[in-house]
A and B are shown apart, each in its own frame.
Chain A
Amino acid sequence: MSELAISIFTGTLIAATPLLLAALGELVVEKSGVLNLGIEGMMLIGAAAGFLVAVQGGGLLPAFAVAALAGAVAAALFGVLTLLFLTNQYAAGLALAIFGSGVSATLGVGFGSQPIEALAPLNLGPLADLPLLGPLLFRFDIMVYLGLALVPVTWWWLNRSRAGLVLRVVGEAPGNAHALGYNVLRIRFLAILWGGALAGLAGGYLSLAYTAIWVENMTAGRGWIALSLVVFATWRPFRVLAGAVLFGGVTILQLHGQILGLPVPSEALSAAPYVATILVLVVISQNRARMALDVPLSLGKPFRARD
């Protein structure tokens, strides 16, 4: 297999990682019946906060922790608004997206030009030296493996664990969950925090590993693409993985296209992920029956206990 094929394969998985992390988090949030449109804002806050820690010599592990924490704090704002103040979830998510873009840009002013050392690949010893398999599978950084591992874990947790079952009940029939004695708001709030932490981590991956710089609005719509992925995946973790790999692939192929100097304007190639998102949404939306079957029943609807 040629060098190029290997680099496209590994590049695809790396480009897919932030999408995968953010989308898996949002999937859990939506399964609990809450639609958080603000992924882009939480990713940006995570990216800026994590970068600030790293650029001031705080180390990469704390940087990622701060990125996740910052994403969760931003998500908590959304949670308070939608759960306690029964705010329209669309509007609150939009507010979070705008707020996050402003907060991150304000935090990051003046730090963008400073380089940091990017997250290094995990040292897997002899595995990395295996012929073919080494460069293909064993030279990624830890976040790539973490993202991949979260796919079966999320699936198992949602479909096989008791807590996951409760979360799904809360998303499908919050009234029933409440009557059974479960605290709907608390469960939804925890799901929102989890989604925020993963979005923050995804943003941190962009600024700490993927590019190792901070640029205003550097997520460039990845938060919205992650949101589309959840719909595309009809709320199933393994399909989220498939979608993230598809988009990672589109991103890497268009980058290679630009490097090779294809006779197409670079902007047309840069637009490929956005065009692909629209196309994918069009295709998946065709099957209305499937969508109706898979969408969490109370998605986007506020819940208020009547006792």
Chain B
Amino acid sequence: MSYRIEPRRNASALANLLAPVIAVALTLLFGGALFAVLGYPPIETLTAFFIRPVSSMYGFTELLVKAVPLIIIAAGLSVGFRANVWNIGAEGQLTMGAIAATGVGLFAPEALYPMLLPLMFVAGLVGGAAWAGIAALLRTKLNTNEILVTLMLTYIAGLFLSFLVRGPWRDPNGYNFPQTALLPYEGMLEPLDPMYRVTASVVFALIALVALWVVTARSFAGYRLSVGGAAPRAARYAGFSEKGAIWVGLLTGGAAAGIAGFYEAAGPLGQLSAVISPGYGFAAIIVAFVGRLSAPGILLGGLFLALTYVGGESVQMSHGIPSPITRVFQGLLLFLLLASEFFVSYRLVRTGRAAA
């Protein structure tokens, strides 16, 4: 008995919903097997990875702290991905957003302090969008592949950050550590509750999700963007601009990543150092895919990917498992999701020998 791949006439809505669920379940299964191979008790370790870190209020708020940048960036990237614009340099755009926001926070005159946070927000947005804008400019004017450009710009942004914190922006009273001075009090976000590190950025993440939902599901602009990405020629006949889609896609992703950079700098970090993100910009790509580029999906995907961060830290402390295991889980999840997606568009049809 053999099977044949057959495309479904209509994408399966059920499979579309189930694919991420199956992928998560399989990730847990493979993850457990991986722990067993590494010589750790699988159930115990999975519990320490996925459940224990969020079984306290503090743990849950830490999950939110990590989920917020993922969700904000993924919401922005989804706009681009829908338009088939491959911005994979959100990590660099986050870095530039954080640099711009911190620059304003550190060097703005005190007269501006009453409105320092809004100014830093705008600086972060502009910093991230401008960095992505380079890729948009090169793509639309000079036909240069945006995947490679946004990635190269990520390495350049990392080096620029390193230059700043070791050079001109280094805290003169910082015992030579590669970091800037702390932001002034007016440039830092108060935690919503002094017990935890969660700030108003949670609210912004929700706003970003609602905005994504409105734009993609309810507006003509979102439709035009998707057509421009999926079928550039059809879009041109309809009078929609492919270049417009590229600009909007890249700038939205860049702005979102830049805002996430602002929230990181003004929130949990309070200053810049040589490393400011544990790969949020890359993990957010996975969040966007796992979330099917939709707002509710990104919410769930962001929480799950955040769990891989706190889980990685948790098993490092409890079992001494190296924390890069986080990225193994993230890669594994994306692999399995992509494999599960197969059943959205195709099905296996049993072919009897006689029929062939």
Contacts and interface: CB of A to CB of B under 8 A. Distances in A.
A99 B283 CA distance: 11
A106 B322 contact: yes
Contacts of A220: 155
Interface string B315-334: 00000001011111111101
A284 to B, nearest CB: 9
Contacts of B329: 102
B282 interface: yes
A41 B145 CA distance: 20
Interface in A211-249: 216, 220-221, 224, 227-228, 231
B36 interface: no
Contacts of A105: 322, 324, 327
A265 interface: yes
Interface residues on A, range: 35 or more
B162 interface: yes
Interface residues of B, number: 47
A104 to B, nearest CB: 8
A270 B159 contact: yes
Contacts of A285: 142-145
B162 A267 contact: yes
A87 interface: yes
A179 interface: no
Interface stretch (B55-63, B223-231, B234-242, B338-346): B338-346
A159 interface: no
Contact of A281 (B86, B144, B159): B144
B338 A92 contact: yes
Interface stretch (A50-58, A137-145, A146-154, A272-280): A272-280
A286 B143 contact: yes
B144 A274 contact: no
B335 A277 contact: no
A221 B324 CA distance: 18
Contacts of B328: 99, 102-103, 106
A227 B283 CA distance: 21
Contact of A94 (B155, B332, B334): B334
A262 interface: no
Interface string B140-178: 001111011101110110011011001100000000000
B277 to A, nearest CB: 14
A217 B149 CA distance: 19
B330 A221 contact: no
A243 to B, nearest CB: 13
Interface string B109-152: 00000000000000000000000000000100011110111011
A229 B332 CA distance: 28
Interface of A: 37, 41, 77, 81, 85-88, 90-92, 94-96, 98-103, 105-106, 109-110, 216, 220-221, 224, 227-228, 231, 265, 267-268, 270-271, 274-275, 277-278, 281-282, 285-286, 288, 304
10 contacts: A85-B339, A90-B86, A99-B332, A102-B331, A105-B324, A106-B322, A221-B155, A224-B152, A231-B145, A278-B138
